[in-house]
Structure 1
Amino acid sequence: MGHARSGTTLAHRLLAADGDNFSYFLYWELFFPSLLQKRVIRWLGKLDRAMGGPCIRRLRAWDDRTFGRFRHIHDMSLWNAEEDQFVMQAAFLSQQWALDVPMMDQVDLFHVDQMPAKKRRRWLHHYRECVKRQLLLNGGDRIHLSKNPLMSGWVEALIETFPDARIAVMVRNPTQCIPSTLKLLELTWKGKGWTPEQYGPSLQAMTEISFDSLLWPRQALAKHKATPQIFVDYRDITRQPRETVHRIYAALGMSVSPSYEQWLVDQEDRERGHATHFEYSIDDYDLAVEDIESRLAPLFEQYQWPRVSEATLEGQQA
């Protein structure tokens, strides 16, 4: 977990390559929470391959048309490992609804730890059942690998539901990840025909959620010292992906297999310097750099993020 645009997808897909340890949802599987549905679709896939693959060719062409133009922002495909919280969409408990309709100011899907206990447990029971079915689909002998920025507000509820959970939190300079997230949301809503007047309140709500995304996991995990945990700097996983994965495994009490180690070695040059070609500016939003640096001052100190406000002041004085 971690703030959106903080490297959660990169970390998730690096770990997802360890198929000996992990089970996870592919994007297409999120639309079919039923175990029977997914088994039938997999059987149809085998039948299609036996017939030469006419359906899969059409699906891949559709996949490229639909997601190809956005892959410089977020590498999405029907066959990629993806955020499993989307599996709760049929129960109206997924952030996908907020992406379709700007209602983040009215429907709060983030602050689950603050919900009444009965409601919180009902939500998490549904999530647990979806995860259990996916584990059974993939053999039942692996660890579920979850990647959900939204669940930065679900930490204590997750630990209550999964007492043996192990949690890695991605951390990135908020002057980068906050405007990047706001820009992504704005483009999504504009693409669906919503006007700035309609999605403006949701952007404001997301701005406040951004601060909570950076602070709440740290506060919640401080209460649960026995839960294996690690905070991962975005700069580390982009500059030294193999070494960073080793640190994650060590913190979570896991070991890297020889085959996965070889994959990491082969993949390192490709992932090092990972970046998305996505342009955004904090000046586009009603949010001052000084406000970010003030409200998150302890994190700026801990991670030694450059303070844009200080650089601007020095430039003015010079």
Structure 2
Amino acid sequence: MAFAKRGSGDALMRLFLEATAIYTRAWLGAFWGRQRAAAPLTPRRILLLLLFPLFMVVQLLHWLCLALDHVLFPAFRRQSIHRPVFVLGVPRSGTTFLHRALADDSAFTTTRTWELLFAPSLCQRYFIRGLIGLDKLMGAPIAHALRWLVKRGGRGLEAIHAIGLDAAEEDYLALLPAAGCFFASLAFPGSSSLAALGDFNTMSEGRRQRLMDHYHALMQRHVFAHGGRQLLSKNAAFASWGDALKERFPDATMILCIREPLRAVSSQVSSLQPARSLFATDPDGEDLPRLFRQYYERWFTDLARLASHRETLVIDQEWMAKEGDKVLDQIYLRLGRDRPENTGATATVSAPPHRHDPGHYDLQRESLDATLWEAYSVLSRQALLQR
């Protein structure tokens, strides 16, 4: 697709119809068929499904505003994204710490929670910025109420990482309207289309292209709204998207975070227990460990392939936890500029602690495929050599 047409009205309409079909199939399928085993129709589950049409109404509003951007702010489509930095890796490997540490650098712009959930479009952002200004004049009652709601609604999800409206957040959330956010698969475990988001290469070429075009246009909007600053992106769920991102942004710097596989899988499954409760899925607690064993095998393999690019830096979570300042110095050495004094000042090394034991999820070295360990060994050696 030509650069000038990326994210155009026709492309938006096609992606909107595609996403609507994916969500509708997932929603209807939740009432019968194979989803019933992974997500029985308990009272909580039924309530969630009955409220889902409201979610779809919100997504429709986002689509309308995204389309309106082409009328009100057409210049965003000419916005270049120069030398972006992508923090990828497997989930629970320190990506959040690294992302939020780098986000302290004012040379970067990165997406914030409120932008992703409430304002993926430019017209929504500018409108909300105006409301924020008015709210401040009145003592910020709306801001206080929203922070309370986010804190209450995210209770328990802090095990994944700290949540806040102004916090630097994973920009894959902006793909929710396009049914391109992997987190949605946790709500609908029977949807093959949503599950495929965890392994980008299993999707059709057309679907991959449409999602990448849309993601690119979303990031153009973001950079445009923030004065053309250097894009900083973090997505642990993009582990399998690395090759496509590198092809789309050839001058990007890729930072790959890794962690010892058994501890990483165990931590991920443990941190998703609140999501199981929220979506009323996986009642026996057996599906998530099995599912994420498979995902991690693919993700480590994909990351090992991506690590062959010269601009890629591999960071081991254990080293990051012990010597975070040295990790940041190494990253800025790779970026070719001095590290600002405040970088890393507001980040925390990890989310609030939660206990997890690989044995609790029947995880042993033998339960993970040999190709995963081979890929992890390749990445681990590269991380050591790059210190």
Provide TM-score, normalisation by structure 2. 0.69
Contact 1:111 1:153 in 2 (8 A): yes
Q: Structure 1 residue 108 and structure 2 residue 196: aligned?
A: yes
- Residue matched to 2:224: 136
Distance 2:126 2:312 in 1: 34
C-alpha distance in 2 between matches for 1:80 and 1:8: 14
Q: CA RMSD in A?
A: 2.5
Give how far 1:102 is off: 2.3
The answer to whether the 8 A contact 1:101-1:189 is kept is no
Partner of 1:209: 295
- The equivalent residue for 1:48 is 135
Question: Which structure exhibits the higher relative contact order, with contacts defined as CA atoms closer than 8 Å and separated by 6 or more residues?
Answer: 2
Shift of 1:262: 4.3
Q: Is the 8 A contact 2:256 2:313 kept in 1?
A: yes
Structure 1 gaps of 5+ residues are 305-318
Per-residue deviation, 1:112: 1.6
Structure-1 residue corresponding to 2:116: 30
Q: Name the counterpart of 1:256.
A: 338
Task: Tell me what 1:163 maps to.
Answer: 250
Identity percentage over the alignment? Answer: 27
Query: For 1:124, what is the secondary structure of its paired residue?
Result: helix
Offset, 1:63: 2.7
Say if 1:28 and 1:79, in contact at 8 Å, map to a contact too. Answer: yes
Q: Distance in 2 between matches of 1:275 and 1:190?
A: 19
What secondary structure is seen at the aligned counterpart in 2 of 1:236?
Answer: helix
Cα distance in 2 for partners of 1:293, 1:96 equals 24
Matched-pair contact (CA < 8 Å) for 1:104–1:202: no
Residue type of the partner of 1:118?
Answer: G
Alpha-carbon contact 2:90-2:257 (below 8 Å) kept: yes
- How does 1:1-318 map onto structure 2 within 5 Å? 1-19=88-106, 21-31=107-117, 32-103=119-190, 107-140=195-228, 142-196=229-283, 200-201=286-287, 203-222=289-308, 224-225=309-310, 228-251=311-334, 253-257=335-339, 260-264=340-344, 267=345, 271=348, 274=350, 276-292=352-368, 294-298=370-374, 299-300=376-377, 303=380
Contact 2:196 2:202 in 1 (8 A): no
Residue 297 (structure 1) shift = 3.8
Q: 1:155 to 1:303 in 2, by over 3 A?
A: closer
Q: Which amino acid aligns with 1:254?
A: G
Query: 1:104 and 1:215, CA in 2 relative to 1: closer, same or farther beyond 3 A?
Result: farther
Inter-partner Cα distance in structure 2 for 1:28 and 1:229: 30
Of 202-211 and 39-48, more deviation after overlay is shown by 202-211
**Is the contact between residue 109 and residue 226 of structure 2 (CA under 8 Å) also seen in structure 1?**
yes
1:25–1:82: 8 Å Cα contact kept in structure 2? Answer: yes
Number of residue pairs aligned between Structure 1 and Structure 2: 291
SS of residue paired to 1:119: helix
Residue aligning to 1:314: none
Cα offsets for 1:268-317 (capped at 9, x unmatched): 9x846x4641112222324323333844444358749xxxxxxxxxxxxx
Describe the shift of the 1:125–1:235 C-alpha distance in structure 2 as closer, same or farther (beyond 3 A): same
* CA–CA separation in structure 2 for the residues paired with 1:301 and 1:293: 15
Deviations 1:105-131 (A, max 9, x none): 663102224544332211100000011
Deviations 1:168-227 (A, max 9, x none): 000111111111112223431233222436x744542322111222221111342x33xx
Go from structure 1 to structure 2 and tell me whether the alpha carbon gap of 1:277 and 1:138 turns closer, same or farther (over 3 Å shift).
same
AA aligned opposite 1:28: W
Q: CA distance change for structure 1 residues 295 and 287 in 2, over 3 Å: closer, same or farther?
A: farther
Counterpart amino acid of residue 34 in structure 1 = S
Q: Which amino acid aligns with 1:128?
A: H
